[in-house]
Amino acid sequence: MVTRLPVSLQSLIVQCAALLLAALLSVLLQSFFSVHPVLWQLALAQGLIAVGLSRAWHQPVWWQPLHLGFFPVILFARQFDLPAWIYLTAFLLLVLFYWSSFRTRVPLYLSDRKAWRAIMPLLPAASTFRFIDLGSGFGDVPFYLERRFPNAEFFGTEIAPAPWLISRVRAWVKRSRVIFMRRDYAVLDLARFDVVFAFLSPAAMPDVWQQAQSQMRKGSLFISLSFDVQARQPDHVIALAEGARHTLYAWRI
């Protein structure tokens, strides 16, 4: 089904369709009204059409400014006659930071200190435990918790090369005991951990919840920031700010 396509592929289709519709609009304006739009006007029209298609496809709202500005930004950059290596460098950086977003449908999300603090009361203060952050990014969550739970073991797993490397370098500089793995969380055995934390995306939650239910031991804890699993009511709901995007959910397996 088309609606199950990864959002990045949806966006490519949206951009191509909007480009074709903008070209058709230009032809109609010239044929029936003798109006000859300039290039920046067509780029803006293409962006507005892309926003409309994105809304019709119920994409996440943060895709709309990306669709709107895609071609205008390209036209703006061309005014400076930038060398080709700058575009290549930008592309390589995007690949390094968003390595598997097309497949996993999980972009790079970074949590904040409010979320890290909210996790603390859920953790067992008087016993040792093993904690893993699925999609650990730059490692902020395990770094923060490690200082407050010295008897616990902390892990992070990240498949994108750049965030994983940055987290490893930070661990070395901090002399941290956090272990960062460059591995897809889908291939991990979550039975090894007492607490599993995830800040992923709505598209990934059904699969990761199924993995947690089938692998995690009885009594262990699954925590998700911002994204509910829908399949079961959470045992704990902690509001960090107004809106579902700022909510911490926790389930006792």
- Per residue in 6-23, pLDDT tens? 666 788 899 999 999 999
Asked if residue 73 and residue 141 are part of one domain, the reply reads: no
Domains contained in the chain, number: 2
CA angle 11, 46, 106 (to 5 degrees): 15
Q: Work out the pLDDT band at 2, boundaries 50, 70, 90.
A: very low
Asked if residue 65 and residue 13 are part of one domain, the reply reads: yes
Regarding beta strands 195-198 and 221-225, do their DSSP bridges make them parallel or antiparallel, or are they unpaired? parallel
Contacts with 194 (C-beta within 8 Å, 6 or more apart), sequence order: 124, 129, 130, 131, 217, 220, 221
Residue 79 has pLDDT above 70, yes or no: yes
Asked if residue 73 and residue 169 are part of one domain, the reply reads: no
Asked if residue 234 and residue 126 are part of one domain, the reply reads: yes
Say what the pLDDT of residue 84 is: 75
Proportion of the chain above pLDDT 90, given as a percent: 52
Asked if residue 74 and residue 137 are part of one domain, the reply reads: no
The residue-averaged pLDDT of 141-168 equals 93
Residue 129 falls within a domain, yes or no? yes
Residue 92 falls within a domain, yes or no? no
pTM recorded for the entire structure: 0.69
Helix runs in 79-112, H state only: 84-97, 101-104
**Interval 195-253: pLDDT, tens:** 999 998 887 889 999 999 999 999 999 999 988 988 899 999 998 865 545 799 999 99
Contacts with 140 (C-beta within 8 Å, 6 or more apart), sequence order: 110, 111, 116
Proportion of the chain above pLDDT 70, given as a percent: 87
Structural domain span for residue 211: 113-252
List the structure tokens of 225: 């920031």
Length of the chain: 253
Say what the pLDDT of residue 125 is: 78
Final residue of a structural domain among 28, 57, 81: 81
